Amino acid sequence: MIQIDELHKSYRMGSNSLHVLKGINLDIKEGEFVSIMGSSGSGKSTLLNIIGMLDEAEKGSYVLDGVPIKNLSEKKAAVYRNKFLGFIFQSFNLINYKNAMENVALPLYYQGLSRKLRKEKALYYLEKVGLADWAHHLPSELSGGQKQRVAIARALASEPKVLLADEPTGALDTQTSYEVMEFLQGINDEGKTILVVTHEHDIADMTKRIVKLKDGKIVEDKFVEQVRASQYV
């Protein structure tokens, strides 16, 4: 699903250049549940942004579902993001003046779906995350866990190939974190490829594969026995 070869990325800070990714090789198959770990500054967020087409690599190749991602125009990148990827952020990033359903329907709007279809789909995915009753509530009326579940529903709504989650539990307490992880595990069980960036070991242990980054390089890449979140909930 994702093939990354010799990926380099550096940021220019004035006259200095900060080499963040120093040759990343990563191959993720369909249906995998991968966590990328590393201390801050290890380059894990940069890697996720490149995978998410929010940022561009300097060197190396990145192929997503057989499509080489290189020199994309902003428009093309937008279309690919919409088609291939679902994002889950640490700070949820819901639009605060839209209710839960409208937030979930937003990527569908950019897919050009009709209103009726958007509403149906949005409600379906809200149902899936157990928030059908909250469809008409604004984000400010939801708890942190609920917000993240809305965000997950939104990420799922566009039926992406890969879910990208940047510290999805970073802003949540342990209990809620496990609930969110339980959702993600459920989605993964249905066959969805999920990539999670985290620095929490217990969260990483709930995935199936842990990739450790340090100073822009992969220092460890291992498949692990998945800890089911349901046993904590």
Partner 1 sequence: MRFIFTRDTWQEIFGSIRKNKLRTAITIIGVFWGILLFIGLQGAAKGMENGFEANFKGMATNSIFLWGQQTGIPYGGFNRNRSVRIELGDTYRIANQIEGVQFVAPRNAKGIFDGAPPLVVNNLKSGNYKVFGDYPVIDKVSKKKIREGRFLNQKDIDEKRKICVIGERIQTELFAKGENPVGKYIKISNMYFQVVGVYKRNNTDFFEGDNSIFIPFTTFKKVFNTGNRIGWMVIAGYPDEDIVAIEEKTKALLKRRYSVHPDDERAFGAANLGEMFGKITGFVKGLKFTALIVGIATILAGVIAIGNILLITVKERTKEIGIRRALGATPGEIRGQIVLESVFLTLVAGILGMIVGGLLLSSLNNVAKDLDDFPFVNPTVSLEYIAMAIALMVVLGTLIGLIPAQRAVSVRPIEALREE
Which residues contribute to the site for partner 1 (CB under 8 A)? 49, 52, 54-55, 74-75, 78-79, 81-83, 87, 89, 91, 93-95, 97-98, 102, 106-107, 109-111, 115, 154, 158
* Alpha carbons 118 and 153: distance in angstroms, whole number: 13
Of 118 and 209, which has the nearer Cβ to partner 1? 118
Q: Are strands 33-37 and 16-28 parallel, antiparallel or unpaired?
A: unpaired
Of 117 and 233, which has the nearer Cβ to partner 1? 117
- Minimal distance in Å, beta carbon 122 to partner 1? 13
Of 46 and 177, which has the nearer Cβ to partner 1? 46
Q: Are strands 67-68 and 85-88 parallel, antiparallel or unpaired?
A: unpaired
- Minimal distance in Å, beta carbon 227 to partner 1? 29
- Minimal distance in Å, beta carbon 10 to partner 1? 15
- Minimal distance in Å, beta carbon 225 to partner 1? 33
- Minimal distance in Å, beta carbon 96 to partner 1? 8
- Environment class of residue 153 by beta-carbon count within 10 Å: exposed (0-12), middle (13-18) or buried (19+)? buried
The candidate with the shortest Cα–Cα distance to 154, out of 122, 190, 115, 132, is 122
* Alpha carbons 33 and 206: distance in angstroms, whole number: 9
Q: Are strands 33-37 and 193-198 parallel, antiparallel or unpaired?
A: parallel
Of 119 and 214, which has the nearer Cβ to partner 1? 119
Of 4 and 113, which has the nearer Cβ to partner 1? 113
Question: Between vectors from CA 90 to CA 212 and to CA 171, what angle results, nearest 5°?
Answer: 100
Is the separation of the CB atoms in 165 and 88 below 8 Å?
Answer: yes
Sign of CA dihedral 56, 61, 64, 66: positive
- Minimal distance in Å, beta carbon 205 to partner 1? 27
Of 110 and 223, which has the nearer Cβ to partner 1? 110
